[in-house]
Amino acid sequence: MTDRTPGPDPELALSVRDLKTYIYANNRCNRALDGVSFDIHRGKTLCIVGESGCGKSVTAASILQLLPELSRIEEGEIVYHGAEGPVNIERLKRNGRRMRAIRGKEIAMIFQDPMTALNPVYSIGFQIKEMLLYHTRLGKRARHAKAIDLLRSMGIPLPEKRVREYPHLYSGGMRQRAMIAIAMSCDPRILIADEPTTALDVTIQAQIFELMDTLKREQGTAIMLITHDMGVVAELADDVAVMYMGQIVEAGPVGQVLRNPLHPYTRALLESIPVLGRGKNQQIRAIPGQTPDPYDRPTGCQFAERCRYRVDACAEMPPETQVSSSHRVRCWRHREFMADAAE
Ligand SMILES: Nc1ncnc2c1ncn2[C@@H]1O[C@H](COP(=O)(O)OP(=O)(O)OP(=O)(O)O)[C@@H](O)[C@H]1O
């Protein structure tokens, strides 16, 4: 008999399973990530969306082993699928050789504010070349040529001149492009982008998103994009994971989740975005109430207090239910929303 067990998915770049990352302060514990699972695939963008404090950045920091002090991965797995086979990141030493090689070279990150990542006292070219020196075997000339090529491919005009310039001479959009150039310099398999365009105006924002989309399509980079904006999700995501208070409350292919949102929180996020062309009288609903104190969470559904569909059952934590092969949700009442969509 032939073995029909499916082999590992060759497109899988990262898989996170039941990840629990806790932060400790004053003898109290914040379950910042409380059982988070998702996959990131090559050539696809996964958007992680949710309000401030839901755990988006702690997810990124867990993957890169850059967690704040007094925080710890308590349970779960983060498996990076690199060229040399799977690696359990959570078992690596934070500053060990393997983790340092993965961080930056294989999994790169760009941040909201490029000035926090760019060093003001070195030229942009120097900073790209440093990455190449540290992570590749390229010689001096090749590093310089690659730095210019990278700036050119990021749409920076006159790259031969600008490679020598310092960050303060770059505009906000150009700095963000330079940061992406540094991140992409070693051809990472995964690019994590934490709200990369929040500080930029909408035209530049659209250009940066287009650039990220090109990287995904042409280089097969797997992108994990962190955002609080459902508009960004609709535009860029292949898959989406909606987070609330350290849990993924709904996840799936973007078309399925946006067309048929099954969690009241996803619905509320969708109602909170303005739609172009509907005029200024359109109903945009802010989500009422506030997130609970992370150090003193309710035992049941974390969203219940703010949920207009709340019932008694919500005092108990709803299980995660798989509603199709790739769409999952954590809400006692999701079947009713499925029925709504079918009508
Ligand atoms: N350095 C830190 N020290 C203590 N608690 C932290 C720290 N960073 C995050 N937290 C806590 O961890 C939880 C998750 O926060 P996280 O920063 O991941 O949220 P986020 O979704 O990225 O928010 P934002 O959109 O504001 O960046 C929150 O309860 C937050 O208060």
What's the order of all strands across the beta sheet hosting 190-194?
107-110, 190-194, 222-227, 45-49, 239-244, 247-253, 328-329, 321-322
Q: Residues 303-316: what's their mean pLDDT?
A: 95
* pLDDT at position 185: 87
Q: How large is the average pLDDT for residues 16-31?
A: 94
Segment among 121-135, 201-215, 235-249, 277-291 with least mean pLDDT: 277-291
Element (H, E) at 212: helix 202-219
When mean pLDDT is compared across 23-37, 143-157, 203-217, 218-232, the lowest value belongs to 203-217
pLDDT value at 37 more than 90: yes
Going by CA atoms, what residue is nearest to atom 26 of ligand 1? 52
Is ligand 1 within 6 A of the CB of residue 52?
A: yes
Higher pLDDT, 197 or 332: 332
Residue 250 DSSP code: E
pLDDT surpassing 70 at residue 342: no
Q: Is the confidence metric ipTM above 0.85 for this complex?
A: yes
Per-residue pLDDT tens over the stretch 232-245: 899 999 999 999 99
Pair 71, 22: CB distance under 8 Å: yes
Q: Which residues, 6+ apart, have CB-to-CB distance to 254 below 8 Å?
A: 47, 233, 234, 237, 238, 239, 240
pLDDT of 1: 45
Q: Are strands 107-110 and 190-194 parallel, antiparallel or unpaired?
A: parallel
pLDDT over threshold 90, residue 123: yes
CA torsion sign, 58 to 33 to 245 to 341? positive
| Ligand 1 neighbourhood includes 102 CB (under 6 angstroms) | no
Pocket mutation for ligand 1, best pick of 56, 245, 295 (most atoms within 8 Å of C-beta) = 56
**Which ligand 1 atom lies nearest to the CA of residue 226?**
22
- Report the Cα 58 to chain-centroid distance in Å: 10
Query: How far apart are alpha carbons 40 and 47 in whole angstroms?
Result: 10
User: How confident is the model at residue 332, as a pLDDT?
Assistant: 96
Residue whose CA lies nearest to ligand 1 atom number 4: 23
The single residue listed with the structure tokens 């920076």 is 156
Position in ligand 1 atom list of the atom nearest CA 55? 18
Closest ligand 1 atom number to CA of residue 50: 21
Can you read off the two tokens belonging to residue 77?
A: 């797995």
* Residue 36, ligand 1, Cβ within 6 A: no
Per-residue pLDDT band for 6 (boundaries 50, 70, 90) equals low
How many domains would you assign to the chain?
1
Spatial contact of 87 and 98, defined as CB atoms under 8 Å apart: yes
Residue 340 has pLDDT above 80, yes or no: no
User: 146 CA distance to ligand 1 centroid (A)?
Assistant: 36
Q: Which atom of ligand 1 is nearest to the CA of 54?
A: 21
Distance 55 CA to ligand 1 centre (A): 6
pLDDT confidence band for 341 (50 / 70 / 90): low
| pLDDT at site 279 | 58
Could you tell me the end-to-end alpha-carbon distance of the chain, in angstroms, rounded to an integer?
46
Confidence of residue 83 (pLDDT cuts 50, 70, 90): confident
Q: Is 56 in the pocket of ligand 1 (CB under 6 A)?
A: yes
Q: Based on C-alpha coordinates, what's the Rg of the chain?
A: 21
pLDDT at residue 26 in the model: 85
Confidence at 212, pLDDT banded by 50, 70, 90? confident
Identity of the residue numbered 203 = T
Instruction: Share the mean pLDDT of the chain.
Output: 89
Q: Check pocket membership of 212 for ligand 1, CB cut-off 6 A.
A: no
On whether residue 251 sits in a domain, the answer given is yes
Confirm whether 141 is domain-assigned: no
In a domain, 150, yes or no: no
Chain segment 244-301, per-residue pLDDT in tens:
999 999 999 999 999 999 999 999 999 877 655 555 555 556 788 888 899 989 999 9
Question: Average pLDDT in the 80-90 region?
Answer: 93
Domain hosting 171: range is 12-121+166-342
Q: Is residue 279 part of a domain?
A: yes
Q: How far is the CA of 194 from the centre of ligand 1 (A)?
A: 13
Q: Which of 23, 67, 71, 109 to mutate to test the pocket of ligand 1 (most atoms within 8 A of CB)?
A: 23
Residue 142 is assigned to a structural domain of this protein: no
| CATH number for the domain harbouring residue 275 | 3.40.50.300
- 45 in a structural domain: yes
Q: Band the pLDDT of 2: cuts 50, 70, 90.
A: very low
Residue position matching structure tokens 């090529």 = 149
Distance from the alpha carbon of residue 188 to the mean position of ligand 1, in angstroms:
26
Crossing angle between the packed helical segments 124-135 and 172-184, to the nearest 10 degrees: 10
Which structure tokens are listed for 333? 């009442």
- pLDDT higher at 273 or 197: 197
Judge whether residue 339 has pLDDT over 80: no
Q: Is 126 a domain residue?
A: no
Tell me the average pLDDT across 19-39.
95
Nearest CA to ligand 1 atom 5: 23
339 by Cβ neighbours in 10 Å (0-12 / 13-18 / 19+) ranks as exposed
Report the percent of the chain where pLDDT is more than 90: 64
Dist. CA 216 → ligand 1 center (Å) = 28
Amino acid at 157: P
